[in-house]
Structure 1
Amino acid sequence: MRSSPTGHQLRLGAELRKLREGAGLTATQAGQLLGVAQNQISNMEAGRVGVSPERVRTLAAHYAYADQEVITALCDMTSDRTRGWWEEYRGILPAPLLDLAEIEHHARRMRTAVTVHIPGLFQTPEHAREIFRQDVPEMPPPDIEHRVSFRVKRQKVLFRDPPTTQQAVIHEAALRMQFGGPKVARQQLEHLLKMSEHEHVVLQVIPFSAGAFAGSGQSIYYFHGPVPQLDSVNLDQSHGPAFLDAEAQLERYRVLVDRLEAIALTPEQSRDLIHTITRDL
């Protein structure tokens, strides 16, 4: 039995629980249908024990769940036993950060909307290091370096074959934050421009002239899964990542990111603005 399930394992268990609750069954009733004890169902739904594709299909049949796309996606989740690079940081960094890297690894497409910070996947080491130096309480230097190296390794999803598509909406305020001074800020903006040249990266800027808009003040990371029901949202907060996966929450943030992309400048206009801000430094 697993003592520390990964985020991927927890999500599979949560989805199995949703199927059971959607059928109006208790864990005890589900166990009776499957011929196992109630605690076996609870352990599966908590990600503490493995689940085979056959068992997923059996549960779906007992729950009268017929969406084959979702069932297939859940079966695929059971067969993925990848021990990701992020595991080397277990016990060094908070578990939610490892869960974030795992979600990024499995995402089919990523969408980001930020107002104050450059998205982590686009940050230079110098920029990231300066952000971590501002943490309260102050981090010891070794902890800062662990965070920086972890953030840089997360960026590999943008360079693998095939790379994960990243759509990012960044407010002009984030572009004008001079973390580390003008030199570090200039290097960060130049790196952002270089990243925007990749075909799998779509970068848009919301200018100050856009005025008020829904979602301002939040850092939203939307991850598309194999089917919409398996999408995930991460809200980047001061105490760490906050993950959401309830259907109503996914729909809310899907619409919100759609609106932010709609009011932002085009990628070409966005690059022009970033060039202008860079020249002003």
Structure 2
Amino acid sequence: MPPVSNPTLRQRRLGAELRKLRERAGFTVTQAAAHLGVNQGRVSMIETGRSPLSADRVRAMASAYDCADDDLTTALAAMTGRRTRGWWEEYRDHVPVALVDLAELEHHAPGLRVALLIHIPALLQTTDHARSLFRAVVPPMRQYEIEHRLTHRMKRQGILHRAEPPPYSAVIHEAALRMNFGGPVVARGQLEHLLEMSELPHVTVRVIPFGTDHFPTTGQSFDYIEGSVPQLDTVQLDSHHGACEFLDAEAQLSKYRAVLDRMESCALDPARTRDFIHHRIQDL
């Protein structure tokens, strides 16, 4: 099969995980190539996500690297093949590539957890609220860029409305509920939508009120995207220059899981959160 010229994050992640297995086995690229019966260039292309793989090849590599974790091997084998032609591919030339990768990650995720301080989670935003955010971006976006970002975000939300949606858990600071992006009418519509979404059985929303005297955060919002096994989880961070940063080192994943757990323990439970949002709506 010909090499992949622009591998997706999912393809790069498969290669990176195979590299981790090789390094844990104590193999150099040269040794791995000899063991697998391929040239060194093929191993390098595999580990950068540029060489398509079959599930059988992944299993053979895991065996060669003495990987005893059958669940991880099965999960890696499921990531093989060529790029999934999902709806996000039509946006590859219209939004930052990282946003295309994010949509693909969300599509495959068994579960999603997010923590935000001054924004409503992207998957729970109304069209008017999202448009007001895009209009405030620095430097300003052109109108067609706003519309591409907007339709991309709305299509991402489809995972919460499909036949078997993933569990979705959001921790939101009270500050996010008091930001009147787009004005009072838009803000009210957003809070009503948030309240409605929080009542879905697979959506859990918790609010951290101003009165909470401690919770672990550096002030940064993030998404925790679960993989089919914990080793394949991913943390996504936003930045002011418009790109997404993806973290997947074991220590990083462990730290962000702990932060989310602690933030959830500091937040109101879902029922009290709904009451809190309802009172905020009445204040507008």
TM-score for the superposition, normalised by structure 2 = 0.97
1:278 matched to 2:281? The reply is yes
Cα-to-partner distance string for 1:236-262 (whole Å, 9 max, x where unaligned): 222221100110100000111000111
Q: Of 34, 38, 41, which residue of structure 2 is paired with 1:39?
A: 41
Q: List aligned pairs for 1:60-209, cutoff 5 A.
A: 60-79=62-81, 81-209=83-211
1:255 matched to 2:262? The reply is no
Aligned equivalents of 1:57 and 1:27: distance in 2? 18
Aligned equivalents of 2:265 and 2:215: distance in 1? 11
Cα-to-partner distance string for 1:206-258 (whole Å, 9 max, x where unaligned): 00001332114111111111111011111122222110011010000011100
Supply the AA of the counterpart residue of 1:58.
A
Contact 1:12 1:77 in 2 (8 A): yes
Superposed CA RMSD in Å reads 1.0
Give the fraction of aligned pairs with identical amino acids, expressed as a percent. Answer: 56
User: Could you tell me how far 1:80 is from its partner in structure 2?
Assistant: 7.3
User: Could you tell me how far 1:187 is from its partner in structure 2?
Assistant: 0.2
Aligned equivalents of 1:67 and 1:219: distance in 2? 32
Q: Of 223, 227, 242, which residue of structure 2 is paired with 1:225?
A: 227
Structure 1 residue ranges without an equivalent (≥5): none
Aligned equivalents of 2:228 and 2:96: distance in 1? 27
Cα-to-partner distance string for 1:36-67 (whole Å, 9 max, x where unaligned): 11110010111111111111111111111111
User: Could you tell me how far 1:82 is from its partner in structure 2?
Assistant: 2.4
Contact 1:109 1:223 in 2 (8 A): yes
Contact 1:4 1:48 in 2 (8 A): yes
Aligned equivalents of 1:92 and 1:171: distance in 2? 31
1:203 is paired with a residue whose SS is strand
- Number of aligned residues: 281
1:244 matched to 2:247? The reply is yes
Aligned equivalents of 2:30 and 2:93: distance in 1? 35
Cα-to-partner distance string for 1:181-217 (whole Å, 9 max, x where unaligned): 0000000000000001100000100000013321141
Contact 2:52 2:82 in 1 (8 A): no
Supply the AA of the counterpart residue of 2:170.
A
Distance verdict in 2 for CA 1:81–1:161, change over 3 Å: farther
Aligned equivalents of 2:213 and 2:179: distance in 1? 18
Contact 2:116 2:222 in 1 (8 A): yes
